[in-house]
Amino acid sequence: STIVEAYDRLAAEGIIHARPGSGFYASGVAPSMQMREPGPSPAREVDPFWVSRQALDAPEGTDRPGCGWLPPDWMPHQAISRALREIARGEPSVLTDYGNSRGTLSLRRQLARLFAEDELSVSPDAILLTGST
């Protein structure tokens, strides 16, 4: 078993010793560990394009943790299709214009309301939204 193996390893290293019929006991002061001089660090250059290709070109059905998208069977396809149809029926500029450089005004207004709940007086014009990955 794992426990027996652990005790055998500790005994082999002289950290514990067995007393027949009584169990295992610490052997006193643990033997000092020998430190070795650190060697040179291996050079590990990472090609970011290689990393991207590994995520994008992985075979179908391969798990892709951390890649930024969910497995197909987790996706709410009907809800996404419905939302896209609703957006397409609306104002065309929503799909084609860049919008405000400080971020969507409705979102900045909502953030200002949330800040006000915390007694912070922040104008939507003072809020700058940014994107990040």
Residue 86 has pLDDT above 60, yes or no: yes
Higher-pLDDT residue of 62, 91: 91
Q: Which of 9-13, 19-23, 86-90, 124-128 has the highest mean pLDDT?
A: 124-128
Taking 3-state DSSP, the helix, strand and coil percentages for the chain, each rounded to the nearest 5, stand at 40, 5, 50
pTM equals: 0.36
For residue 3, what pLDDT is reported? 86
In which element (H, E) is residue 84 found?
A: helix 77-89
Higher-pLDDT residue of 113, 7: 113
Which are the contacts of 38, defined by CB distance < 8 A and separation ≥ 6?
none
What are the pLDDT digits (tens) for 111-125? 999 999 999 999 999
For residue 69, what pLDDT is reported? 74
What are the pLDDT digits (tens) for 19-78? 888 888 888 876 677 777 887 777 777 787 877 777 677 777 777 776 677 778 888 999
63: amino acid identity, one letter: D
Give the Cα-Cα-Cα angle 130, 105, 113 (nearest 5 degrees). 95
For residue 8, what pLDDT is reported? 87
Domain edges within the chain = 1-26
Residue 133 has pLDDT above 60, yes or no: no
